[in-house]
A and B are shown apart, each in its own frame.
Chain A
Amino acid sequence: MTRPGKVIDFDGTQVPFEAGDTVLTAVFRAGLRPWGGCLCADGDCPYCLVTLGGVSYVRACRTSAVEGMKVASHPSGGYPPLPSSTRAPTGESAVGFEMVHCDTVVIGQGRSGREAAAEAEERGRRVVTLDARAGTEAVGVYPGPEVVARTPEGMARIFSEEVVVATGSVEVQPVCPGNQLAGILTRRAAEGLAASGVDLGRVVSVGRPPEGVGHEPAQGRLVGFEGEGVVRRVVTRDEETGAERAYPCDTAVVGLGSGPRDTLARMAHGLPGARAVGSAAGHLDRPPVPEAGVVCPCSEVTVDDLRSVWDRGFHELELIKRSTLAGTGACQGAVCMPHVRSFVAAGGQELPPSFTARPVVTQITMGEAAAGWYHHPDRRTALHDEHLALGARMERSGGWLRPWTYGDADREYWAVRSGVSICDVSTLGKILVSGPDADAFLERIYPTCISPLRPGRAKYVLVLDERGYVFDDGLVCREGANRFLLTSTSAGAGHFEMWLSDWAEAWKVDVRILDRTASWGAINVTGPRSGELLSRLGAADWLPPFMGHTEMEVAGVACRVMRLSFTGEISYELHHQASESRHLWHALMESGADLGVWPHGLEVLEELRLEKGHILVGVDSLPDSTPRRLGHGWAVRMDKADFLGKPAVARTSRMELDRLLVGLEMDGGPPPQGAILRVKGDYAGFVTSTTWSRVLGRSVMLAWLYARDGAFAGDILIDGRPARKVAVPFYDPEGSRVRA
């Protein structure tokens, strides 16, 4: 009784294999010769690339045959097809990943690698060894040093003090007519296949002969290979007589020398603790100058192509590479570069060192490249679940997940304008500054006067960089003689804290700085009935006046209460420990139920703030927005002794104003953000923020308007419709509502 053996499917052919076979070995064992070009069977050449499980550029020589495996060779002279679906197959899991820490990592486990590993272990080092032939393949070396490897379990990032590169050598490939025929092997490939019991048929060898392989050595210098698709004859030339001779064969084996397999060594070069050993640190046996044939199979570059670019003046190795793309393909120059170097040297050019090597050294999948990397985390406020429970649609904003809408924008809007609403503003930057130099420090930081600010009072401030450009804004609240609470935009909080700390360090001022952004929650209670709601929760005794702040308990929660307004209505921001946010939120919602309290999201907040003409730094401002361009010159005191950016503000103030952030309004629906302003048909600026104002019954916008002949024209068209330039705020310009 015969027992069916294990098989793989190769291009539709059932190919049996034996234990330990690679796909390449199994294919050869079956007598198939599907790949043209001189196979190295060692991961260097680009010839045995296959598609396996939907993944292309997989090397058959490095892939163990597994029962039922379905393998497709790459199309000759073309690219493998892209996967038919952009989605991962159902059930496919992410590539595994781990980080590994050791003292020494040895890449390659040939003789030099084994010796290096043994020597390191003798020194008591914790050693990790990688061996591509055993399925643990280093794909890159990075500063650290850090080695990234592909393993049977997935990807690994290996951190060590030492990196020993013992990757051995790569065999020189033949460049001559017929070198793309199938049935050509390097010496080591032939030895390996023969050792696996593969019948190579009639073998003719050129150069150094293979060991353990029955063969006929060809005499003379290699001229070319002949055959139809598959090599049938090896042609050589006698160096003395010039006579050519053809050797009939089934397999041609070439032993043309070798060079260092040093891509990883070059990647590691200069890194502390990294070194190459053995053949990887050796020198190239530079082959004869190529005369004809394909030099770079990846980019299909022939010797004639090299001559062509040479004749056009490209004589440097780097230029030849760039003009022909030789060395930029799947094998990254393993096949062509020795020959290209010989070609350049023959032209009398001095050869530069090998190219800079950059990760990765072999083809990896997107999944492998992404393994172990995470998307940028989005912060959640303590009220995240409360928002979801109310049906909020969450959006990313300034590095946070925030409620965009609770599903009924009308309800959210009118709760603010005619009743009371709450908004989770925990994301605002909140920074405490204390110290004997706090006053003087903030005077230098901000372009407005800080010293006159009394405890319990707050002030709107711009934040300028050294060039006088606005990069943030917020409030300064004085808590005591030497203590302040600063707020900043949500997106800018992290940067602002670093900015403050850097300047404190640079100026050697005596201050303490603590970022409370993630520690404190903040809920804005806004609307004409906001005071009434707060009074129900124990804040009846004394609520601060506009731009005032105080500490008090609200619903039993210790709060810093700030009275200000971004919405255009009376507003109280309740800053508190984030651990109390849920309790406070629910207390506000429950106590205000009969007042119609309802939260509002960012969508409505955008509309509310725009009606008041409040800018959003980063939305309405540009990277080179000066206070004057923003129409915020009132927030800068040039009579101060000094502040960051003052010289630049002074200089730009002497220049003619070239553009201005202006308020526009128009009838009908709002144009989209970014809509173009035109004056007399010419480009005149663009819209930065836009909304239909429910309370005003018209569209309102902020827009950059460019000066024309030194003036800012008023006859503006947007999308062919007239827009009126008006003063901001659009809503409640006297501010009577926020001060009520």
Chain B
Amino acid sequence: MSVPERFERLEATRIVADPGALDGIESPDDGRLMRLAPDDLLVLPALARVDVADRYAIIEPEAGFSAAWFGRSQLARLQAVSAWEFPRHRPAVAQGHLAGIPVKMLFDEGGVRVLVPAVLAHHLEERLGLGDRRE
């Protein structure tokens, strides 16, 4: 289905560590790494354990995001509420606002996975009209 009904809370792992240590982390099988900042990494899905070459690294389960998948046919709909142009290459990671709500986006050939702070997910559902919700 290319149009989701709603955003679902995501289970991931968040690592804040020395940038060099994050460079050495490999993407898990069937997973993705989202480098949110030089010292900040989001690993999808959640990892049971991870080795980070930084003894001071903060490694935490991440329950703060909700996510939904939008098929390629829905990209124009999302682009129409974005003040920044989506990247054209694939795969790609981008961060910005959709309809005034901060999001992180994981693009691949089939579409895009949109991550939104779970505390704001209801707004994005409403602003995108998911599940007939309206603000």
Contact = CB atoms under 8 A, between A and B. Distances in A.
A101 B80 CA distance: 9
A4 B64 CA distance: 65
Contact of B100 (A377, A381, A483, A518): A377
A654 B99 CA distance: 52
Contacts of B81: 98-99, 372
B8 to A, nearest CB: 10
Contacts of A622: none
A101 B118 contact: no
Interface string B52-84: 001011101111100000000000000111111
A143 interface: no
B120 interface: yes
Contacts of A518: 64, 117-119
Interface stretch (B9-17, B26-34, B106-114): B9-17
Interface in A302-316: none
Contacts of B101: 374, 377
B19 to A, nearest CB: 11
Contacts, number: 92
A436 B16 contact: no
Contacts of B62: 519
Contacts of A514: 14, 16, 40, 58, 60
Interface in A348-400: 372-375, 377-382, 384, 400
A343 interface: no
B120 to A, nearest CB: 5
B117 A577 contact: no
Contacts of B39: 512
B26 to A, nearest CB: 21
B3 to A, nearest CB: 18
Contacts of B84: 159
Which of under 10, 10 to 19, 20 to 34, or 35 or more describes the interface residues of B?
35 or more
A377 B135 CA distance: 11
A577 B63 contact: yes
B132 interface: no
A383 to B, nearest CB: 11
A439 to B, nearest CB: 12
Contacts of A377: 100-101, 120, 123
A252 to B, nearest CB: 48
A578 interface: yes
Nearest to A157: B83
Nearest to A438: B56
B100 A373 contact: yes
A380 B122 contact: yes
A512 B63 contact: no
A435 interface: yes
A717 B68 CA distance: 59
A434 B63 contact: no
Contacts of B82: 99
A513 interface: yes
A434 B56 contact: yes
Interface string A501-536: 000000000111110101110000000000000000
Contact of B127 (A374, A380, A384, A580): A374
A578 B58 contact: no
A520 B64 CA distance: 7
A432 interface: yes
Nearest to A98: B80
Contact of B56 (A372, A400, A435, A520): A435
Contacts of A516: 60, 64
Interface of A: 98-101, 146, 157, 159, 372-375, 377-382, 384, 400, 432, 434-436, 438, 482-483, 510-514, 516, 518-520, 577-580
In the A-B complex, list the 10 residue pairs whose CB atoms are closest, starting with the nearest.
A519-B64, A379-B119, A374-B100, A579-B63, A101-B85, A98-B80, A518-B64, A577-B63, A512-B16, A377-B123
Given A374-B99, A514-B58, 9 more contacts: A98-B81, A99-B81, A159-B85, A377-B100, A400-B119, A482-B56, A512-B57, A512-B58, A514-B14
7 contacts: A159-B84, A374-B100, A377-B101, A483-B58, A516-B60, A518-B117, A518-B119
